[in-house]
Amino acid sequence: MGRGRPVIAKRLLDILISLAALILLSPLFLFIAVAVRVSSRGPAFFRQDRVGLRGETFRIWKFRTMTAEEAHAAPLVTSSDDRRVTAVGRFLRRWKLDELPQFVNVLLGEMSIVGPRPEVRRYVAMYSDEQRRVLSVKPGMTDEASIRYADEERILAECDDIEATYVNEIMPRKLELNLKYIDGRSLWGDIALILRTAVGVFRAA
């Protein structure tokens, strides 16, 4: 997808979907926010610095799924048996509901619906020059790697060193998929990824 009309069309799609989602899902947002606050002490939302387009930092929005005291603690990747995750948080993660607030990031233009998932700077610093090409597009709420690695937390739970496994095995494979997306991206391809993501969530749950 180059410049001009395809870029404008992608941005319009982002605005329409994110705006519609924030309006239509507002009752669900309120219910989840209350559930998170009641189930454990701390804010309803979790915000974290991520690396976006051209390497610029932005703050991602999520519903908090961990105890407030340990939400920012290491490791920065999560396994399915992570003790930091609350009971409500496990439900939200299973259905990917914790990601819904990122529609705010999309509406603000910091993210797109489809694009490479944004990483924390700690991991971006490990990218090779070729891998840094993923920063040439806006990060997204979903991508091919998210679909392929929908069971990432389960995979990490089976490892002795989850961060080493993520950095040395999972992250490079995800970046490879992201680079393929960048080289062949299209509006119709984005729409197909959105539909596949929705189907994948329901199948996994």
| The predicted structure's pLDDT at residue 1 | 45
Q: What is the pTM of this model?
A: 0.93
| The predicted structure's pLDDT at residue 84 | 92
Where would I find the H helices in 78-148?
87-94, 102-107, 121-124, 144-148
Domain boundaries, position 178: 5-204
93-99 contacts at long range (C-beta below 8 A, 24 or more positions apart): 93/65, 93/153, 94/204, 94/205, 95/201, 95/205, 96/201, 97/28, 97/32, 97/63, 98/46, 98/62, 98/63, 98/64, 98/65, 99/62, 99/141
| The predicted structure's pLDDT at residue 161 | 95
Q: How many other C-beta atoms can be found within 10 angstroms of the C-beta atom of residue 18?
A: 22
| The predicted structure's pLDDT at residue 62 | 98
| The predicted structure's pLDDT at residue 79 | 87
| The predicted structure's pLDDT at residue 204 | 65
Helix (H) or strand (E) holding 165: helix 162-165
| The predicted structure's pLDDT at residue 191 | 95
Give me the number of domains the chain comprises: 1
Ranges of residues in the chain whose predicted pLDDT is under 70: 1-4, 71, 74, 204-205
| The predicted structure's pLDDT at residue 43 | 96
pLDDT tens column, 9-67? 999 999 999 999 999 999 999 999 999 999 999 999 999 999 999 999 999 999 999 99
End-to-end CA distance of the chain: 33
| The predicted structure's pLDDT at residue 2 | 45
| The predicted structure's pLDDT at residue 203 | 77
